Structure 1
Amino acid sequence: MECPSSTSSQGRHVNGKQSIDPPGPATDKNGPRHRPLTPMRRCRGVLCLVVMLLTAFMMMVYLSPTTTFLVRLFSVHYSRKSTCFLFGMWLAIWPFLFKKVNKTRFIFSGESVPPKGRVLLFSNHRTEVDWMYLWDFALRKGCLQCIKYMLKKSLMKLPVFNWSFHLIEFIPVERKWEIDEPIIQRRLSEFKNPRDPLWLAVFPEGTDYTSQEYAVEHGLPILKNVLLPKTKGFNCCLQELRSSIDAVYDITIAYKHQLPTFLDNVYGIDPAEVHIHINSIQVSDIPTSEDEVATWLIERFQLKDELLSNFSKLGHFPNEGTEGDLSTLKCLANFTVVISVTGILTYLTLFSSVWFKVFVVFSCVFLTVTTYYSIHLPQLIGSPEAVADPGFMDRGADILLPPPAPPLLLSSLLFPLIPPLFFLDVQACRGGWRTPSPHATSAPALR
């Protein structure tokens, strides 16, 4: 997901043919770090990463099955709303980490956009952590819980994180259009309900150097700071959502003085500043035909290229200061709630009834199966489609299962029956039921 970091932008001739070097961003990954990696920062980074993984794990195994399974049977809308609320609380820890712990400055420029709403965002892609910095923007607009991304399908193999990607309905793509097109269309068709808030973020740039060769062959502009965008995926998103979104946001991200990596964020050594430039575009101002959309998107990336060139000279985007600062009090309150809930659930798992451990095991099986097979259950109870069409229950979920999968899937779906057992005394598991006396008049007691 990382963009090339070479600073060369000129073509060269090899064997009589022009060869285009990859575009070079304004900052370099191999430059000096903003802060040194001290033992204290290393320990703090490891602690932060452990906390993030533990909070994510506990919230997913205990809370998300209820919102993504039980609630979804009755209402897809409220299932998404409750799931997004839970994940929004967890995601809000990351901007807190960036801003308050790592002391990274977020500087917004361009247009000030209204909060809430349903929007399609597209951005340049400088490093593997660009998408995480959009969380800071979404948090300020009250839409952190509803932001979704298109991401490489290989990222769905990351343990624990792949569960969260699936639960909040990120769209994995193979980057092969003949495979991705029906998947994108089917998934986007599920996001058209105007009651469901949506921020869908896409990164249209290619991730290899062939886009520059393609530009030379087809007479397209050679871009210095960005790659030539791939237009089919963006056009598909726009056409599917055109009638149900309020605006399109053109986002340009730049860094000072160093392109950060994920570990740079964890250890708090980079970036020093993240600059985010925002342009809001009305949907009615965007062409409708595929060819015109492709031309329009390339022109937008030409503007991004010029914007980044000016940034490398001036050190800032025009019209800065469009967003206020994050509330430290709200960040601390959210962090306290998430950590407290995680602490309670961790204690119950390790030191309380064995049924908590059983629930965790069943929940992990459930999350693993539904993520691996990309299962999103439909609303089955009270749904007009389910009442009118008996076959709706068979077609509603996005399921392609090999023969061995159904027994495993069915066993994992039984885990919601376990929570009532939490109220049983742990001694019931150790000593069994006490044999009642022949003269006893009361019900059998647990030993």
Structure 2
Amino acid sequence: MLLSLVLHMYSMCCVLPAAVLLGTAPTYVLAWGAWRLLSAFLPSRFYQAVDDRLYCIYQSMVLFFFENYTGVQILLYGDLPKNKENIIYLANHQSTVDWIVADILAIRQNALGHVRYVLKDGLKWLPLYGCYFYQMYLVIFPEGTRYNPELTKVISASQTFAAQEGLPVLKHVLTPRIKATHVAFDSMKNYLDAIYDVTVAFEGTVDDKGQRKEAPSMAEFLCKECPKIHIHIDRIDKKDVPEEQVYMKRWLHERFEIKDKLLIEFYDSLDPERRNKFPGECVNSKLSLKKTLPSFLILSGLTAGMLMTEAGRKLYVKTWIYGTLIGCLWVSIKA
């Protein structure tokens, strides 16, 4: 009986945030759709300003659960972000939580509404959100897929490719791909301030034998199984990034060599004082509730209000059904 109660409480840790995050989707999409129609005859800057604000509200609610609800500690190293900048964010990719980490940094620069992502093509088919994500999205994960120590064939193929190309073989990251990074930089270089080279490590992902384990999934993260996230940031001025693709490919691999060395020290260091941390001083960055709680109350309150009336419930269900169908049709046409 006690075990069943414990398991039930554990599952509820994940169910509550998942229900709110998915349950508020129709509310958010309705608000965005209404503004899209109202702003059709206005200059695009008006649409973009409100769209960014709406997006900020939703992402702030997401961070309410991923930071305040879970109580995770965010430890920052290196070039700590201060002022809002136009950046490309390059990071290692190991978990479905990685895009949340980008938001964690963005909200600390008051830039949350301006974050855009290079997403996997399949994510455009997400119900309701797929169409919205597909039109926006700059966060780049150059590895192209997540690093999972259990997928030995993926790691082996990546290392074999590096060896064939005459590049150093990497241990804790995959060999980066250049295309998305080069296209993004070439398109944005006239507006860009810098590139943030970000290396992320989730504490608690090494077993008793010292072997690296798979990074926590969203569900595990929301069930409070990740006590700390370590984030190392290197700010690279755009003038220090080579523009030609052939030189940028070498530069990008060198950046991932640096990431690999950081992660080797984090996971594999024989010195217990250096293990589970990056070099240098760190800052324990706590996110204030006032940054996230209002967004949670606004979206959950509007959704609850809609569900309290019969007309609201019908609109809610129709938004799920027709919003998903229209979104899928839209991305099919645009693909």
- Relative to the length of structure 1, the TM-score reads 0.63
Shift of 1:400: 5.0
Task: State yes or no: 1:201 paired with 2:162.
Answer: no
Task: State yes or no: 1:65 paired with 2:39.
Answer: no
Shift of 1:37: 6.9
Any idea what the Cα deviations from partners look like across 1:369-397, whole Å, max 9, x if unmatched? 2453239xxxxxxxxxxxxxxxxxxxxxx
Shift of 1:81: 1.9
Task: Tell whether the 8 Å contact from 1:109 to 1:321 is kept in structure 2 after alignment.
Answer: yes
Q: Which residue of 1 aligns with 2:50?
A: 82
1:141 to 84, 101, 109: 109
Q: Which residue of 2 aligns with 1:56?
A: 25
Task: Tell whether the 8 Å contact from 2:128 to 2:323 is kept in structure 1 after alignment.
Answer: no
Task: Tell whether the 8 Å contact from 1:128 to 1:262 is kept in structure 2 after alignment.
Answer: yes
Find the residue that maps to 2:24 and give its secondary structure: helix
Change over 3 Å in CA distance of 1:364–1:86 after alignment to 2? farther
Q: Which residue of 2 aligns with 1:351?
A: 310
Find the residue that maps to 1:94 and give its secondary structure: helix
Change over 3 Å in CA distance of 1:303–1:362 after alignment to 2? closer
Task: Tell whether the 8 Å contact from 1:115 to 1:143 is kept in structure 2 after alignment.
Answer: no
Task: State yes or no: 1:45 paired with 2:14.
Answer: yes
Task: State yes or no: 1:299 paired with 2:299.
Answer: no
| Structure 2 gap segments, 5+ residues each | 146-153, 206-214, 270-274
Q: Which residue of 1 aligns with 2:300?
A: 339
Shift of 1:158: 2.5
Find the residue that maps to 2:243 and give its secondary structure: coil
Distance 2:120 2:300 in 1: 30
Amino acid at match of 2:55: F
Find the residue that maps to 2:226 and give its secondary structure: coil
2:280 to 310, 319, 328: 319
Shift of 1:78: 2.0
Distance 1:362 1:57 in 2: 6
Distance 2:324 2:164 in 1: 46
Distance 1:400 1:96 in 2: 33
Find the residue that maps to 1:253 and give its secondary structure: strand
Shift of 1:360: 6.7
1:247 to 184, 194, 200: 194
Corresponding pairs, count: 307
Any idea what the Cα deviations from partners look like across 1:133-181, whole Å, max 9, x if unmatched? 22111111111111111111112222233244236x13xxxxxxxxxxx
Task: Tell whether the 8 Å contact from 1:247 to 1:280 is kept in structure 2 after alignment.
Answer: yes
Task: Tell whether the 8 Å contact from 2:27 to 2:299 is kept in structure 1 after alignment.
Answer: no
Amino acid at match of 2:35: T
Find the residue that maps to 2:116 and give its secondary structure: strand
Q: Which residue of 2 aligns with 1:265?
A: 221
Any idea what the Cα deviations from partners look like across 1:8-46, whole Å, max 9, x if unmatched? xxxxxxxxxxxxxxxxxxxxxxxxxxxx97321212321
Shift of 1:74: 2.2
Change over 3 Å in CA distance of 1:271–1:366 after alignment to 2? closer
Percentage identity across paired residues of the two chains: 27
Task: Tell whether the 8 Å contact from 2:87 to 2:193 is kept in structure 1 after alignment.
Answer: yes
Q: Which residue of 2 aligns with 1:437?
A: none
1:329 to 290, 299, 308: 290
Amino acid at match of 1:234: T
Amino acid at match of 1:220: L
Change over 3 Å in CA distance of 1:233–1:344 after alignment to 2? same
Task: State yes or no: 1:223 paired with 2:170.
Answer: yes
Task: State yes or no: 1:372 paired with 2:332.
Answer: no
Distance 2:334 2:298 in 1: 38
Shift of 1:257: 0.8
Task: State yes or no: 1:232 paired with 2:179.
Answer: yes
Distance 1:166 1:289 in 2: 28
Higher relative contact order (CA 8 A, sep 6+): 2
Amino acid at match of 1:205: E
| Structure 1 gap segments, 5+ residues each | 1-35, 171-199, 376-398, 402-447
Find the residue that maps to 1:374 and give its secondary structure: helix
Report the aligned-residue RMSD: 2.5
Shift of 1:296: 0.6
- Relative to the length of structure 2, the TM-score reads 0.83
Distance 1:131 1:86 in 2: 18
